[in-house]
Amino acid sequence: MTILVTGGAGFIGSNFVLDWLADASTRDERVVNLDALTYAGNLRNLASLQGDARHVFVKGDIGDRALVDRLLAEHQPRAVLHFAAESHVDRSILGPGAFIKTNVEGTFTLLEAARAYWSALEGDAKAAFRFHHVSTDEVYGSLAPDAPAFTETHPYEPNSPYSASKAASDHLVRAWHHTYGMPVLTTNCSNNYGPYHFPEKLIPLMIVNALAGKPLPIYGDGLQVRDWLYVGDHCSAIRTVLAKGRVGETYNIGGWNEKPNREIVHTVCALLDELRPSAEGPYTRLITHVKDRPGHDRRYAIDARKIERELGWRPAETFETGIRKTVRWYLEHADWVADVQSGGYRDWVAANYSAR
């Protein structure tokens, strides 16, 4: 048995691959991992799998139809799990073209390759095949402070080039199911955090900057609200949907942890004060409010009752347990942090924050 994972060297993808090959129920199932190794893809995330025959890594682009066709024909996977995406809002504002190319055109190419492969299958293999598309709650737009959380039927109202490109990919997946009968599953998750998170996103950026004595930039007033989902919980939810989800359905995955960004930063500072105190004083001294992101969505909130009701999944971590695990991981993996902070990453940080 084999699965094909796209983007399996990125943050969520690599956590999923590690989880899949560690779990007793799937540890004998091989993973073919296709990743282009852009700035956010890091083979060090998968160092523990070096030499493991169950993990087949292929460097390549999901937009390379010939490559995807060859991998499907050679490895005969029972499922495609599609994590590969450009995923950072700020980067999408500065350079939206890459997001259209990967998230829209890449998903289209992958769907067409998977459709051709699935169409040629027969019997039980064809009935069992799944295409699982991993998406985001950002496709739903922004919520008012007192509005109900996003359900799976909430209208799509993307507000950034990133979320618009993910919304387009969601629509493609839906259309390929309704038009061609493709056996698809879609999951829309809230903000993930945890190990191997590239330090451009809020939580790892705060940890890395604080330890380096650098400013902790908070956009605007810092009261933008997000629902926070520990990445290990996200992996278990995807596993559950793949195993038991109804074909053609969408499932929202959330952590039931709505918190404003400002509170997140203060929580990280408090944990660092406890676990790695600074001689210069509390880490909150480094907090700096900067000019807000253009079109910054004010609030996201996930209603994850459908996946709990239909499939019996609920997150195992509270925010308090998950954030403590995350901070500890970064403290214990300074070598990983140093490795990902390349010149290219430093140049991007300078470009994004220098004018704020």
Q: Which residues are catalytic?
A: 137-138, 162
173, two tokens: 């997946």
Instruction: Return d(Cα 155, Cα 166) in angstroms, integer.
Output: 14
Closest CA to 103 of 169, 175, 4: 169
Instruction: Return d(Cα 189, Cα 172) in angstroms, integer.
Output: 18
Q: What kind and span of H or E run contains 322?
A: helix 319-332
Instruction: Return d(Cα 194, Cα 203) in angstroms, integer.
Output: 9
CA 290 to chain centroid, in Å, comes to: 25
Instruction: Return d(Cα 77, Cα 276) in angstroms, integer.
Output: 45
Instruction: Return d(Cα 58, Cα 32) in angstroms, integer.
Output: 7
Q: Within 10 A of 356 (CB to CB), how many other CB atoms are there?
A: 12
Instruction: Return d(Cα 100, Cα 148) in angstroms, integer.
Output: 30
Q: Give the number of residues written for the chain.
A: 356
How would DSSP label each residue in 272-307?
HHHHS--TT--GGGGEEEEPPPTT---B--B--HHH
DSSP helix, strand, coil percent of the chain (3-state; round to 5): 50, 15, 35
| Cα 58 to Cα 4, 32, 177, 326, distances in angstroms | 10, 7, 27, 28
